[in-house]
Chain A
């Protein structure tokens, strides 16, 4: 028993943070200004609250069934077949999410850094990395995330702080935006930003491996608050430096911010190279989580003892999905739509499960 329950509360929170912070960091300010212009930090905050609710639901469910993942306990809550449909949806969704993350990564790399390297190569390299790492057990999973998460927080905070030199607080006023954007587009945008958090679903495979599953709620709240706080800081830095209108002109405002920020005393004149290096790590940890989630849950669904073989079996499918979007604008349309549909799966479905579990008095934590 001791060998399978190794993840500490801190590690669980670190898993959440490094999973949530990912490819979305780059376009996030663009999504946010399209949602509320100068009110961008506020909508990011609201989105964070939505994500927080979703993650808390998951944590509560996980604490009710501390030895099982969502695939396993959903069967005992809503019955075998409805649960299988739900599980299949979760697995399919995370396979798609993994592929889209990999594709978005590939698009950024081919546009901004390696312009002649085929996008297929960057995508397959990233996916293979995730596949190889996913074969390892859950303790290694926890360690890898715990190792990387300070590397993610530090540089992003550094860039945000240094960029404040060029910031103008006027750009952030009025904090609720100028009301040029309709209510429908605003809600749409809030949901899109909230969907950037949904890889926090990985909590469901972390809880059964936690040393003290009772602390899952604490890990969930801290995980979402820290990553959400970082997102808000990124949005504030971008909007205060560029202004809402200029941010709308930039496909990846955060990358542009790193380009416009220099270390004092001419040590580094532009930080985009350093930032991209960090960001690759961030994307890797996200892909790693979603890929591990997909393969583990798939193994659980088919009651396989080991998920190792599945890791490579799944790779061609995920790669194929990643290559489906026709162009970069099409890709972002798909990401927005998939993200919003995904909220039903990552927040709606757990909410349903929890409600039914409470009503039927199902628990897995006491015999």
Chain B
């Protein structure tokens, strides 16, 4: 009897029932800085002068892309909701300004009927300006929120982040899904290492490593270009690389699949060929020489030949392929060294060399490093030896 009575509250209802029409399913979030010149015209929604003081500092403009119920095409064959054509809107983009991320989201919530629901959040875009000021507040909010998944992509946009929310590329009916598939296929084609937001967080947390994010830009057809790696020091973006340096990064880390193409010039400009990396391996060894961590990186890349500039060069002997391979070895070493130098200048060890020291030479780490700040200071002094070996395996369907 008592048991039955106790069971009643559990059976009568479901506290957390939330119909799908009552949810505002957020697919993407953009976060921008707001120029501080503008006067504070914002409503007092999460703060009240006097009792709940706002933190001050820079304010952010948050844009969300909300899926419109019933408009999202469920399969390839389904029409876009009553024959409105592919350009029919599937999402609704709204934005609001706030003191912090949560404040801005709450300001948005105040304007939207459905409860903002982040369980399907796939892409988070931050503007470069904000990333350079630091993402501590954002990372904290997203880690704390139990609905956010670690498999979402976070990216840094060179222009306003809101533009990426508003962009509506033709290829995919849901803009955020286009952004996501841009990144996912870049990973499959070897254009970018897998780097979900959860991985970025893990890397940034490590004492001997810094995080990086994709650096993107909206092009004129509202397509999105991956411009490089935005690399961080702690939670603050300190620089970005060129697109080809993504390849250099992946070479040093030995990440597969490989997908970058590169010109290899054998002397004369007419004797230039385009090669295509197919797979790589790398092995990083660390030793301490004269009190400085010394890294020995053995890299092996496998290439295919993809195009030739002119008929000056005849590719019909394996000798030539070996020569191209040797030239590629030189080029890739220079590219990788330049990237390492660049990150050293900003004390941003995106390769995680420090983690090798921490893991493999704990004695040195204990005595000289211990903290993330110390490793940031030591990183510019480390020495990296690259030993590259490249082999060309195939030349396509043409015989010479």
State whether A173 touches B359 (Cβ < 8 A).
yes
**Which A83-130 residues sit within 8 Å CB-CB of chain B?**
111-118, 121, 124-125, 128
Does A229 have its Cβ within 8 Å of any Cβ on chain B?
A: no
Interface code A185-209, partner B: CB below 8 Å = 1, 0 otherwise?
A: 0000000000000000000000000
Does B306 have its Cβ within 8 Å of any Cβ on chain A?
A: no
Q: Closest CB of chain B to A290's CB: distance in Å?
A: 19
In the complex with contacts A117-B15, A179-B366, A246-B206, A125-B201 CB distance below 8 A? no
State whether B206 touches A121 (Cβ < 8 A).
no
State whether A178 touches B362 (Cβ < 8 A).
yes
**Which A215-263 residues sit within 8 Å CB-CB of chain B?**
241-243, 245-246, 248-250, 256, 259-260, 262
State whether A111 touches B15 (Cβ < 8 A).
no
State whether B360 touches A124 (Cβ < 8 A).
no
Q: Which residues of B contact A131 (CB under 8 A)?
A: 3
State whether A117 touches B16 (Cβ < 8 A).
yes
A249 to B200, CA, bound (A): 13
Interface code B132-170, partner A: CB below 8 Å = 1, 0 otherwise?
A: 000000000001001001110000000000000000000
Does A174 have its Cβ within 8 Å of any Cβ on chain B?
A: yes
Which secondary structure dominates chain A's binding surface?
helix
Nearest neighbor of A132 in chain B, beta-carbon distance: B3
> B150 touches which one: A112, A132, A259 (CB < 8 A)?
A259
Does A269 have its Cβ within 8 Å of any Cβ on chain B?
A: yes
From B5-13, B55-63, B74-82, B312-320, the one touching the partner chain is B5-13
Does A38 have its Cβ within 8 Å of any Cβ on chain B?
A: yes
Does B283 have its Cβ within 8 Å of any Cβ on chain A?
A: no
In the complex with contacts A260-B198, A262-B151, A269-B151, A173-B360 CB distance below 8 A? yes
State whether A260 touches B151 (Cβ < 8 A).
yes
Q: How many A-B residue pairs have CB under 8 A?
A: 84
Does B400 have its Cβ within 8 Å of any Cβ on chain A?
A: no
State whether B6 touches A246 (Cβ < 8 A).
no
Which secondary structure dominates chain B's binding surface?
helix
Q: Closest CB of chain A to B23's CB: distance in Å?
A: 13
Q: Closest CB of chain A to B86's CB: distance in Å?
A: 24
Does A327 have its Cβ within 8 Å of any Cβ on chain B?
A: no
Does A355 have its Cβ within 8 Å of any Cβ on chain B?
A: no
A246 to B3, CA, bound (A): 43
Interface code B180-208, partner A: CB below 8 Å = 1, 0 otherwise?
A: 00000000000000001011011001110
A295 to B3, CA, bound (A): 17
A125 to B6, CA, bound (A): 7
Q: Which residues of B contact A246 (CB under 8 A)?
A: 201-202, 205-206
Q: Which residues of B contact A125 (CB under 8 A)?
A: 6-7, 10
> B359 touches which one: A38, A248, A249, A256 (CB < 8 A)?
A38
Does A214 have its Cβ within 8 Å of any Cβ on chain B?
A: no
> A116 touches which one: B16, B198, B205, B207 (CB < 8 A)?
B16
In the complex with contacts A178-B366, A262-B151, A249-B143 CB distance below 8 A? yes
Q: Closest CB of chain A to B163's CB: distance in Å?
A: 28
State whether A179 touches B151 (Cβ < 8 A).
no
> A245 touches which one: B196, B206, B370 (CB < 8 A)?
B206
Interface code B192-226, partner A: CB below 8 Å = 1, 0 otherwise?
A: 00001011011001110000000000000000000
> B206 touches which one: A115, A124, A243, A269 (CB < 8 A)?
A243
In the complex with contacts A132-B3, A170-B359, A178-B358, A115-B9 CB distance below 8 A? no
Q: Closest CB of chain B to A318's CB: distance in Å?
A: 13
A38 to B360, CA, bound (A): 12
Q: Which residues of B contact A128 (CB under 8 A)?
A: 3, 6-7
In the complex with contacts A245-B205, A249-B201, A115-B16 CB distance below 8 A? yes
**Which B3-52 residues sit within 8 Å CB-CB of chain A?**
3, 6-7, 9-10, 14-16
Does B260 have its Cβ within 8 Å of any Cβ on chain A?
A: no
State whether B10 touches A114 (Cβ < 8 A).
no
In the complex with contacts A125-B10, A170-B355, A249-B205 CB distance below 8 A? yes
In the complex with contacts A121-B10, A128-B6, A246-B201, A112-B206 CB distance below 8 A? no
Q: Closest CB of chain B to A223's CB: distance in Å?
A: 30
State whether A243 touches B202 (Cβ < 8 A).
yes
Q: Which residues of A contact B196 (CB under 8 A)?
A: 260
Q: Which residues of B contact A132 (CB under 8 A)?
A: 3
Q: Closest CB of chain B to A323's CB: distance in Å?
A: 15
Q: Closest CB of chain B to A131's CB: distance in Å?
A: 8
> B6 touches which one: A114, A117, A124, A178 (CB < 8 A)?
A124
A262 to B184, CA, bound (A): 15
A92 to B206, CA, bound (A): 43
A114 to B14, CA, bound (A): 9
State whether A174 touches B359 (Cβ < 8 A).
yes
Does A211 have its Cβ within 8 Å of any Cβ on chain B?
A: no
Nearest neighbor of B146 in chain A, beta-carbon distance: A112
Name the residue in B3, B202, B207 with the highest tally of chain A Cβ atoms < 10 Å from its Cβ: B202
> B205 touches which one: A170, A243, A260 (CB < 8 A)?
A243
Does A312 have its Cβ within 8 Å of any Cβ on chain B?
A: yes
**Which B342-400 residues sit within 8 Å CB-CB of chain A?**
352, 355-356, 358-360, 362, 365-366, 370
Does A180 have its Cβ within 8 Å of any Cβ on chain B?
A: yes
In the complex with contacts A243-B205, A243-B206, A249-B205, A170-B6 CB distance below 8 A? no
Nearest neighbor of A270 in chain B, beta-carbon distance: B149
Q: Which residues of B contact A173 (CB under 8 A)?
A: 358-360, 362
Q: Which residues of A contact B370 (CB under 8 A)?
A: 178, 180
A180 to B202, CA, bound (A): 19
A245 to B205, CA, bound (A): 5
Name the residue in B7, B146, B366 with the highest tally of chain A Cβ atoms < 10 Å from its Cβ: B146
Q: Closest CB of chain B to A249's CB: distance in Å?
A: 6
Q: Which residues of B contact A249 (CB under 8 A)?
A: 143, 201, 205
In the complex with contacts A173-B360, A174-B359, A243-B205, A259-B365 CB distance below 8 A? no
Given A173-B358, A259-B150, 16 new contacts (CB under 8 A): A111-B146, A115-B16, A117-B15, A121-B10, A124-B9, A128-B3, A170-B356, A173-B359, A173-B360, A179-B366, A245-B202, A246-B205, A249-B201, A250-B143, A262-B151, A269-B149
11 of the cross-chain contacts (CB-CB < 8 Å) are A112-B146, A121-B10, A124-B6, A132-B3, A171-B355, A178-B362, A242-B202, A250-B143, A260-B151, A262-B151, A269-B151
The 5 closest A-B pairs by CB, nearest first: A173-B359, A245-B205, A117-B15, A246-B205, A246-B202
- A residues within 8 Å of B by Cβ? 38, 111-118, 121, 124-125, 128, 131-132, 166, 170-171, 173-174, 178-180, 241-243, 245-246, 248-250, 256, 259-260, 262, 269-270, 312
- B residues within 8 Å of A by Cβ? 2-3, 6-7, 9-10, 14-16, 143, 146, 149-151, 196, 198-199, 201-202, 205-207, 352, 355-356, 358-360, 362, 365-366, 370
